[in-house]
């Protein structure tokens, strides 16, 4: 089943590239090159506007408000969310150090829960 999907994906990609090559002829006026799809001037002004709004917290500020998650054992498994559609690939995190370990995908912090 996976090989069938892989072949379909390859077929779609090759057909897409063929269509791009054929539409890049000088007679075609509707073709836009990829470099102009994202205008850096618009991106810069949007980012500047977002940065000026001090009423909203940045994503890192929001994730830092979540206290470190205590885990029994030496390894934490982070998926980002309880809903798999909203999470990220599973990340196994070693908790041998004394400071909280951070998930590289979502920034959640984990600490080993010692029962002494």
Which domains are seen in the chain, by residue range? 59-112 (2.60.260)
* Exposure on the CB side of residue 81, measured as CA atoms within 13 A: 6
Q: How far apart are CA 89 and CA 93, in angstroms?
A: 12
Residue 33 pLDDT class (50, 70, 90 cuts):
low
* Percent of the chain whose predicted confidence (pLDDT) is above 70: 58
Q: What is the rounded average pLDDT of the residues 83-104? A: 92
Confidence at 61, pLDDT banded by 50, 70, 90: confident
pLDDT at 11: 62
Strand partners, 76: 93
């Amino acid at each position: 089943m996976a090989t069938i999907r892989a072949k379909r994906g390859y077929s779609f990609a090759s057909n897409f590239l063929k269509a791009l090559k054929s539409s890049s002829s000088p007679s075609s006026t509707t073709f836009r090159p990829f470099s102009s799809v994202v205008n850096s001037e618009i991106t810069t002004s949007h980012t500047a506007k977002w940065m000026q709004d001090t009423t909203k917290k940045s994503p890192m500020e929001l994730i830092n408000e979540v206290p470190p998650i205590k885990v029994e054992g030496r390894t934490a498994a982070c998926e980002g969310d309880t809903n798999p559609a909203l999470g990220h690939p599973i990340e196994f995190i070693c908790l041998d150090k004394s400071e909280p370990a951070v998930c590289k995908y979502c920034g959640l912090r984990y600490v080993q829960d010692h029962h002494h």
